[in-house]
Amino acid sequence: AAGVIQSPRHLIKEKRETATLKCYPIPRHDTVYWYQQGPGQDPQFLISFYEKMQSDKGSIPDRFSAQQFSDYHSELNMSSLELGDSALYFCASSARGAGDIQYFGAGTRLSVL
């Protein structure tokens, strides 16, 4: 079965640079969630989109923005990167009308040097 696809898997950036993370949800899933997991920490909710509209916002810095496109894939844009942004970034997708069970991708590991 198709799963959530995230790219890239690994990303190395310098401080103050910009990064773009991509997420391709499971086919026919209409909702995408982004989570950030720091070293040794649990995932923290950043932002979500339902039917291409932002549906909820968590502890996402103003330097970050995201959107969901017409094909339901989503991109998380991160600017003015800081050392503290180094983390695993997970995308999850769900079908809102089918219990909204969230399935996670393998994540993008971002290292800011």
Partner 1 sequence: QKEVEQDPGPLSVPEGAIVSLNCTYSNSAFQYFMWYRQYSRKGPELLMYTYSSGNKEDGRFTAQVDKSSKYISLFIRDSQPSDSATYLCAIRRSNDYKLSFGAGTTVTVRA
Does the protein bind partner 1 through residue 58 (CB under 8 A)?
yes
Of 98 and 113, CB closest to partner 1 = 98
Does the protein bind partner 1 through residue 96 (CB under 8 A)?
yes
**What gap in Å lies between CA 3 and CA 1, rounded to an integer?**
6
Does the protein bind partner 1 through residue 25 (CB under 8 A)?
no
Q: Considering only 21-29, 55-63, 65-73, 74-82, which stretch makes contact with partner 1 by CB under 8 A?
A: 55-63
Six-digit token string for 39: 């070293």
111 touches 21 (CB < 8 A): no
In sequence order, what are the residues at sequence separation of 6 or more whose Cβ sits closer than 8 angstroms to the Cβ of residue 24?
4, 5, 6, 7, 73
Does the protein bind partner 1 through residue 104 (CB under 8 A)?
yes
For the chain, what is the radius of gyration of the CA atoms? Answer: 13
* Position among 2, 18, 28, 41 found at the interface with partner 1 (CB under 8 A): 41
Which residue bears the tokens 């909702």? 31
Pairing of strands 19-24, 74-78: antiparallel
Does the protein bind partner 1 through residue 31 (CB under 8 A)?
yes
The residues that touch partner 1, with contacts defined as CB under 8 A, are 4, 31, 33, 35, 41-45, 48, 50, 55-56, 58, 88, 90, 94, 96, 99-107, 109
